[in-house]
Structure 1
């Protein structure tokens, strides 16, 4: 299972750089090359990403990774879930900071 955070980053990176190779993708996402390969294969198997062959300038066969229509829908869904989770984390962090500020203010008075 690929986390919403990683899926979001994968979809975003593929959308912005369709001709990215797996090595570059792994560096951008901060994951191993093997994990990048695993994730791309999983997205392709689910029908969310399509790998299209093309020849690059060095006459080597390469791939362009394209989001399919269902991949675009999944990207939107993942983005909403990821945003919702991050907003909840932000609210919790904001509450914790507020409590810590109270604690510091109380200790400074004493």
Structure 2
């Protein structure tokens, strides 16, 4: 594992791969907006993913705007996305369960305090 990959948040890594698989022509600015991270953060992440071979970038020769890139997942990137998806879902389910438990406890406490006050 490269040093750059160790610094990429696994959720961001997953979300970048997921978004680019769906829309490979997203700009870095659009990715930043959708991910809620800085443009510099997206640039760093994309460079790291290119370096480790999860995505490749190319521009269209016929496109007059040479700054427009197409980000494609490589076979290695597709395999990594599958692994990241599993981890992402496990983390989100654990967060959901913890949040649900907290909400249930607060609701239970609120119900108890309403009945305790004679209301």
Which of the numbers 31, 40, 48 marks the counterpart of 2:37?
Answer: 31
2:47 maps to 1:5: no
Q: Gaps spanning 5+ residues in structure 1: where?
A: none
TM-score normalized by structure 1?
Answer: 0.89
Q: Secondary structure at the match of 1:108?
A: helix
| CA–CA separation in structure 2 for the residues paired with 1:105 and 1:20 | 48
Aligned residues: 109
Q: Gaps spanning 5+ residues in structure 2: where?
A: 1-6
| CA–CA separation in structure 1 for the residues paired with 2:101 and 2:86 | 23
| CA–CA separation in structure 1 for the residues paired with 2:33 and 2:49 | 18
Give runs of ≥4 in structure 1 deviating > 3 Å.
Answer: none
Which of the numbers 85, 106, 112 marks the counterpart of 1:106?
Answer: 112
Which of the numbers 65, 77, 90 marks the counterpart of 1:60?
Answer: 65
